A and B are shown apart, each in its own frame.
Chain A
């Protein structure tokens, strides 16, 4: 299956540059997820790979051959669209076989392929129906089957699950993960949903404002975000940010801000000490805070609980720490009352530090 390489990819609409030189390599059989908030250029990147948008500058290489001047049909790729884009005048079987019929493949081969693919996505009973008579989830499957039937090496997804309801989305996500294991293709998946990104990806590329912020495995991105944006984007509920200053108290490095004073340990202390600027942002994930009445004050936060969101086994507490808002995940059984001021121990391995000026991780 082909490798894809983007080199200094730039997209301009008139005078407005929306993609500022994207460099990216996607290896064989890799499930790459482009993730970012809306307007970050992820869909534009995908559509440029597909050939639906012109490349303003830079080049796309598939197997080291430049392709940016080619029509979509010459690029050996299949695509699943956000709004499914099913041909409403054709039934499911005709939708799935459209590409094969255009390629003038023999009838027997087309029929075999349609049956195979329909079986794979569970549409065998619906082949004679028109898209109008299908439910949202079934339409999504048809869109998937149509792309699968094409047998091309590159498989593009443009937010394929964003139109489904929450339950169905979870179900389709699992099916997609299963499918990606079975078919050996180079898949590129665009989404704004970081859960989809985390669960599906071999590699995540986080984009923001037309730039790639960070790329890596889901674990890398979660544990070692390179900047505040990536840290805040990955993970649910999002990371808490507290503005503070680095204080050196006779070798012990503290981060001090309004309402907290936390002692840094080990490696973190060393990097903080080496850092020139004093103004930092402290990042702590909600899951790295633990309700503990008698915690060491140098390893804990004092939080005023304002709202408690009960979500089952877990509750998310919305709290205040000085001027900052802090979210905490606690066991629902924890005896927490609103309006209380409580002590939460900080997991020292889960402390992230960011420069307050350029927002990069220390």
Chain B
């Protein structure tokens, strides 16, 4: 970048073009195929000449549409419900992760306690465990250990009120999925935020203490506003993982709590793969993270602490 020669080099543009093609290509393919009938998709003819249709979207959104499309005989996909589930799970787990993460990171950076450095280093190791390894033990625990007994007080009351099996387990609830997402994302968020908190000058906190702020006021009024860029980056990261996650959600959700990625797979059966609907749902799935990222990335401004102290 530093020398003007780099700009003129055609290889540079070729590499960029390749990278753009690799990242945007699948999205364009998905976008176009979502407006095609399945026959057009599979036919293998040139993808550019086709009659656009919104049938796929009508089918994907059949439970939220105010009219009944002619070509849909039975609305099997509950996109609306799954979308709400996805939103609840992704947003709540993001918020929880950030709240716990920023406090933990602050403690790890500023407080002196035994084993601080060890904790700080090992948090990231949790992140290295693949979700597939977590799946089996978590599935077992959520189904068998974390349940309210049907004979117990709360479980009994729930059975009285709602009927059903009676014992309420973490598996199949929003909380169950949120909990595992928070656990999965926390180490990385703590790791990111630590590096942001280290950059907040200590004298700022001291100034706030002299100005009459208690420990919590120092944290919320001085430290937190200054690590906003870090929080935004962590939020984007956490939200996208929670939104896209498939493996754990497929095992831990039930009919009423399934998320959109799980719903997409319902379009595949042994008889038929409905590519059009899959693509249409994929397009819809991509919209919320884009909006979220646009909003959150506005907070990422470098040089937040400029002017705080004389460097």
A residues with CB within 8 A of B: 50-52, 71-73, 77-79, 81-89, 98-99, 102-103, 130-134, 136, 139, 146, 150, 163
Contacts and interface: CB of A to CB of B under 8 A. Distances in A.
Contact of A71 (B209, B226, B303, B308): B209
A337 to B, nearest CB: 44
A81 B307 CA distance: 14
B76 interface: no
A337 B304 CA distance: 57
B306 A132 contact: yes
B144 interface: no
12 contacts: A51-B210, A52-B209, A52-B210, A73-B211, A81-B203, A85-B203, A85-B309, A86-B308, A98-B208, A102-B217, A132-B306, A146-B207
For the complex, would chain B's binding face be called helix, strand, loop or mixed by DSSP majority?
A: loop
Given A81-B203, A83-B203, A85-B203, A150 B211 contact: yes
A188 B210 CA distance: 15
B307 A139 contact: yes
A88 B305 contact: yes
Contacts of B213: 73, 102
A88 B206 contact: no
Nearest to A81: B203
Interface residues of B, number: 24
A123 to B, nearest CB: 14
**A-B interface, 4 closest residue pairs, ranked by CB to CB distance from nearest:** A132-B307, A131-B307, A83-B309, A99-B211
Contacts of B204: 85-87
B214 interface: yes
Contact of B310 (A52, A71, A136, A146): A136
Contacts of A51: 209-210
A163 B209 contact: no
Q: Which of A85, A132, A134, A139 has the most CB of B within 10 A?
A: A85
Given A79-B210, A163-B310, A89 B203 contact: no
Given A131-B308, A136-B310, A89 B211 contact: no
Nearest to A79: B210
A52 B206 contact: yes
Given A88-B307, A139-B307, A50 B210 contact: yes
Contacts of B306: 88, 131-132
A73 B214 CA distance: 8
A89 B225 contact: yes
Contacts of A132: 303, 306-307
B148 to A, nearest CB: 44
Contacts of B203: 81-83, 85
Interface in B292-311: 303-310
A298 B242 CA distance: 91
Contacts of A146: 207, 211
A64 B170 CA distance: 61
Contacts of A99: 211-212
Contacts of A86: 204, 207, 307-309
B210 A134 contact: no
B201 interface: yes
Given A86-B308, A87-B204, A87-B222, A72 B210 contact: yes
A88 B226 contact: yes
Given A72-B209, A132-B303, 12 more contacts: A51-B210, A52-B210, A79-B210, A83-B309, A84-B308, A86-B309, A87-B207, A88-B307, A102-B213, A103-B212, A136-B310, A146-B207
A79 B210 CA distance: 7
Contacts of A83: 201, 203, 309-310
Contacts of B208: 87, 98
A312 to B, nearest CB: 30
Contacts of A87: 204, 207-208, 222, 308
A185 to B, nearest CB: 14
A154 to B, nearest CB: 10
Contacts of B212: 73, 99, 102-103, 150
Contacts of A98: 208, 211
A89 B304 contact: yes
Contacts of B225: 89
Nearest to A88: B308
Given A81-B203, A102-B217, A132-B303, A139 B210 contact: no
Contact of B201 (A52, A72, A85, A139): A85
A169 to B, nearest CB: 13
Interface string B204-241: 10111111111001000010011000000000000000
A139 B203 CA distance: 15
Contact of B308 (A85, A136, A163): A85
Contacts of B201: 83, 85
A86 B305 CA distance: 9
